[in-house]
Amino acid sequence: MCLAIPGKIIEIDNEKEIAIIDYGDGTKRKANVNLVDVKLGDYVLVHAGFAIEKLNEKEAQETLDLFREMLSAGGYN
Amino acid sequence: MFSLRDKKLARDIVIEIKKLDVNLKFMHVCGTHQDTLIKHGLDVLLKECGIEIGQGPGCPVCVTTQREIEEMLILAQKGKTVTTFGDMINVPGEKQSLQSIRTEGYDVRMVYGIDDAVSIAETNRDKEVVFMAIGFETTAPTTASVLLKNPPSNFSILCCHRTIPYALKALLDMGEIKIDGLIEPGHVSTIIGTRPYEFISEDYYIPQVVAGFEPIDILMAVWMLVKQIKNEKAYIQNEYIRVVKDEGNVKAQMAINEVFKPGDIKWRGFPVIPQSGLVLRKKFEKYDARKKFAMDLDVLKKREFKDPKGCRCGELLRGISSPHECPLFGKICKPEKPVGPCMVSIEGSCNIEYRYSEKNKK
């Protein structure tokens, strides 16, 4: 139910707040983008036909680096 | 795209967890977390590290009550076009499911999201179209967003939305199980942020970590919980920082607050949980199927509904039982002929356990 799939905005109609999302496996679907502030080329997480958050690929990569750092430092605490 | 797979890091996290030498019980409230745990064998791996993780009331289809299913059945039988997310259609009601009455000719349609249900209403103006609005905070803003855009007057919703934080409070207040830490759902938290969980750590002194859905996310969340416990701390931490902001998705929260107010609601397996539901505000009551079709639903008013005979979904959702402890599991109750919702939904623990267990693999 709370599954959300990442995809890239390849077309956007700002007036209708509708975008075409490319999920990278050949699947392209329409999604509503009125719950997020996004532009063409942005990556979003899509749930039940609505983009619910913007994603940042760089941050995804930094997550792994941060985890490695946390482990070696023994955590935040 | 955005995969977070790094076997060495996963191994390192497990080694670190093992070093901490613990015996703990954690709970998560998300079908997708359960899927990751079982699919990748993390449940077994973590058990070897002294950590048990169970799924609580984290499956919207599963926590939907018999009464709500009966309401949808009645509306369909009274000639409405009823629309719902896929899994819901096969959840058994007292005698029938939405799927079984569909085969009798009633108009039951599966939709991918509420937008599709509105489209059906737009193209069938002579029909009353009711959408079964289930789901947690992840899904509630999609409902709110649609209602804010003046859908056609022949469209309405049967509101079954539920919210997580007060359900966790109810679970902890019941005191049936020992929970040493909570893994909070990543996509519910995408909407609400981390702050609504703060009171749980403060009032119950339980560590919490919001987690993503890759195996590394879960392992990392477990390690963060264990570290908090070892350091005698209890607060809400965010592992899923690549998506979840502390403040959440404010735009989505505003949509929810404009359309709904918090209300009390019963969850399957639980009594009525105060403030854990969403009720349509007065301005949006015209879209409330329960008000619009009150006469049709009146027959259910004095009825009481019991869970299916022998079904232990209620105990499962409270975290006090596991699929294998249910005598019906895999015998009478299977995905193709489910007795309870936890075997129907792809997010239910029974369905997940059944799908990934060796002997059921095709």
Pairing type for strands B155-161 and B129-135 reads parallel
Residues of A in contact with B85 (CB under 8 A): 1, 48
Tokens of B132: 């079964």
Q: Are residues B109 and B84 in the same domain?
A: yes
- Cβ separation of B4 and A75 shorter than 8 Å? no
As a whole number of angstroms, the distance between CA A4 and CA A43 comes to: 12
- Indicate whether B148 belongs to any domain: yes
Domain of B102: which CATH number?
3.40.50.11740
Residues of A in contact with B141 (CB under 8 A): 35, 50, 52
Q: How many CB atoms lie within 10 A of CB B74?
A: 18
CATH for A5-73, options being 2.30.30.140, 3.90.226.30, 3.40.50.720, 3.40.50.2300: 2.30.30.140
- Indicate whether B332 belongs to any domain: yes
- A26 interface with B at CB cutoff 8 Å: no
- Indicate whether B3 belongs to any domain: no
Q: Are residues B119 and B69 in the same domain?
A: yes
Tokens of A59: 């941050």
**Domain tally, chain B:** 2
Q: Write out residues in chain B with pLDDT < 50, as ranges.
A: 1
B194–chain A nearest CA distance, Å: 15
As a whole number of angstroms, the distance between CA B224 and CA B182 comes to: 11
As a whole number of angstroms, the distance between CA B84 and CA B117 comes to: 8
Residue closest to B264 by CA, chosen among B197, B166, B135: B166
pLDDT at B105: 97
- Indicate whether B150 belongs to any domain: yes
pLDDT in tens, B70-101: 999 999 999 999 999 989 999 999 999 999 99
- Indicate whether B19 belongs to any domain: no
- Which sequence spans correspond to the domains of chain A? 5-73
- The amino acid at B29: V
Q: Are residues B342 and B267 in the same domain?
A: no
Q: Are residues B97 and B132 in the same domain?
A: yes
> Could you give phi then psi for residue B273, rounded to 5 degrees?
-105, 115
pLDDT in tens, A10-67: 999 989 899 999 988 788 999 999 999 999 999 999 999 999 999 877 777 777 788 8
- Indicate whether B136 belongs to any domain: yes
B positions 206-265 inside 8 Å of A (CB): 216, 220, 223-224, 227-228, 231, 233, 237, 241-244, 249, 251-252, 255
Domain that holds residue B91: 61-163+249-300
Tokens of B102: 């569909």
Q: Are residues B93 and B141 in the same domain?
A: yes
Residue closest to B113 by CA, chosen among B132, B92, B99, B126: B132
Q: How confident is the model at residue A74 (pLDDT cuts 50, 70, 90)?
A: low
- A14 interface with B at CB cutoff 8 Å: no
A50–chain B nearest CA distance, Å: 7
Q: Which of B1, B6, B233 sits opposite A24 (nearest CB)?
A: B1
B positions 98-137 inside 8 Å of A (CB): 112-116, 134-136
pLDDT at A68: 82
pLDDT in tens, A34-43: 999 999 999 9
A35–chain B nearest CA distance, Å: 5
User: What's B329's DSSP letter?
Assistant: B
pLDDT at B329: 96
Pairing type for strands A28-32 and B81-85 reads unpaired
The answer to whether B235 touches B208, Cβ cutoff 8 Å, is: yes
Residue B20: closest C-alpha in chain A: A74
Residues of A in contact with B138 (CB under 8 A): 1-2, 4, 47-48, 52
- Indicate whether B12 belongs to any domain: no
As a whole number of angstroms, the distance between CA A71 and CA B82 comes to: 51
- A27 interface with B at CB cutoff 8 Å: no
Residue B243: closest C-alpha in chain A: A55
A12–chain B nearest CA distance, Å: 17
Residue closest to B56 by CA, chosen among B24, B30, B23: B30
Q: Are residues B293 and B318 in the same domain?
A: no
Q: How confident is the model at residue A77 (pLDDT cuts 50, 70, 90)?
A: very low
The answer to whether B133 touches B88, Cβ cutoff 8 Å, is: no
- Indicate whether B29 belongs to any domain: no
As a whole number of angstroms, the distance between CA B47 and CA B69 comes to: 37
pTM above 0.90, yes or no: yes
